[in-house]
Chain A
Amino acid sequence: MANETLDKAKVKEAVQRRKKETYTPVIPVQQFGFVHNNVDCIGCRACEIACKDKNGLAPGPRFRRVMYVEGGTYPDVYAYKVNMSCNHCAEPACLPTCPTGAIFKRVKDGIVDIDSSLCIGCRRCEAACPFGAPQFIPDQNIVSKCNMCVDEIDAGRKPYCVQACMMRVLDIGPIDQLRAGTYPTKAVAPHEKVVRQVKSMANPELTNPSIVFVPHSKGIVEDKGAK
Chain B
Amino acid sequence: MSGQDWQDKLKSALKMDRRSFLKTTAVGSAAIAAGGLTLKPKEAQAFAYEPYPRDNDLTTVVTSCAHNCGSRHMLVAHKKGDVIVRLSTDDGRYQKGGEFGKDTFEEPQLRACLRGRSYRSRLYSQERLLYPMVRTGARGEGKFKRASWDAALDHVAGKMEELKSKYGPTALLDQSYAGASYGVLHKSDQIEGLLGRFLGMYGCRTSSWSVPSYEGTKFSSRITFGTIEDGNEDDTFAHAKLIIMWGWNPAYTFHGGNTFYYMRMAKQQGCKFVLVDPQYTDSASAYDAWWIPIRPNTDAAMMAGMVHHIFANNWQDQNFINKFTQGMDAGTMPDWAKDKENFRDYIFGKYDNTPKTPEWAAEICGVSADDIKKLAQLYATTKPAALKASWAPGRNAYGEQYNRMAAALQAMTGNIGILGGCAEGIGKAWHAEGVAYPYDEFANVFYESIKSDRWAHCVLNYPNVKREDIGLWPGGKAGDGVIPDIRGIFWQGSDWFNQLTNINKEIKAINKLDLVVCNDSTITPSGLYADVLLPVATHFERHDVALPWYKGHYYIHRPKVIEPLGESKTDFQIYTELAYRLGGEQFGKRYNPKANRDYFQHDDAVDNAYLQEWWEHKVMAHQHVEMSWEEFQKRGVYKFKLDRPHVAFQDNVEKGVPWPTASGKIEIFSGQLAQYDDWTKTAYGHEIPAIPKWIVPWEYLGDKEKTVKHPFHLISPHPRHRTHSIFNNVGWLRETYSQEVTINASDAKKLGIKTGDTVEVFNDRGKVVVPAYVTERCMPGVLVLHEGAWLDLDENGIDRSGNPDMLTLDEPSPAGSFAYNTVLANVQKTDLAHKPGWDQLSTARSHVFRRDL
**Interface residue ranges, A against B (CB under 8 Å):** 5, 13-14, 17-26, 29, 39-46, 48-50, 52-54, 56, 58-60, 62, 65, 67-75, 77-80, 101-108, 113-118, 132, 147, 150-152, 154-158, 160, 163-169, 186, 189-190, 199-200
Contacts and interface: CB of A to CB of B under 8 A. Distances in A.
Contacts of B49: 5, 115-117
Given A5-B49, A44-B114, A155-B56, A20 B286 contact: no
A56 B80 CA distance: 15
Given A69-B850, A101-B21, A168 B844 contact: no
A53 B86 CA distance: 6
A178 B17 CA distance: 23
Given A42-B286, A46-B117, A59-B731, A17 B42 contact: yes
Given A22-B28, A151-B54, 4 more contacts: A17-B39, A22-B24, A115-B44, A163-B111
Interface string B500-511: 000000000000
B744 A74 contact: yes
Contacts of B22: 21-24
Contact of A39 (B42, B56, B286, B841): B286
5 contacts: A42-B283, A52-B732, A53-B87, A164-B111, A166-B258
Interface in B1-28: 13-14, 16-25, 28
B286 A40 contact: yes
B245 to A, nearest CB: 13
A154 B13 contact: yes
Contact of B777 (A18, A70, A165): A70
A46 B251 CA distance: 11
Interface in B30-82: 39, 41-50, 52, 54-56
Given A48-B114, A200-B851, A167 B17 contact: no
Contacts of B851: 69-71, 199-200
Interface string B279-321: 0101111101001010000000000000000000000000000
Task: Categorize the interface residue count of chain B.
Answer: 35 or more
Contacts of B91: 157, 163
B408 interface: no
B780 interface: yes
B335 interface: no
A186 B283 CA distance: 19
Contacts of B284: 79
Contacts of B336: none
Instruction: Specify which of A24, A56, A157, A166 lies most central, judged by the most chain B CB atoms within 10 Å of its CB.
Output: A166
Contacts of A199: 851
B111 A74 contact: no
Contacts of B283: 42
B707 to A, nearest CB: 19
Nearest 8 CB-CB pairings of A with B: A71-B852, A115-B44, A42-B251, A59-B731, A108-B16, A21-B21, A79-B285, A154-B13
Nearest to A60: B844
B54 A58 contact: no
A67 B54 CA distance: 29
B846 to A, nearest CB: 8
A74 B746 contact: yes
Interface in B256-283: 258, 260-261, 264, 267-268, 280, 282-283
A103 B44 contact: yes
A150 B10 CA distance: 10
A107 B777 CA distance: 46
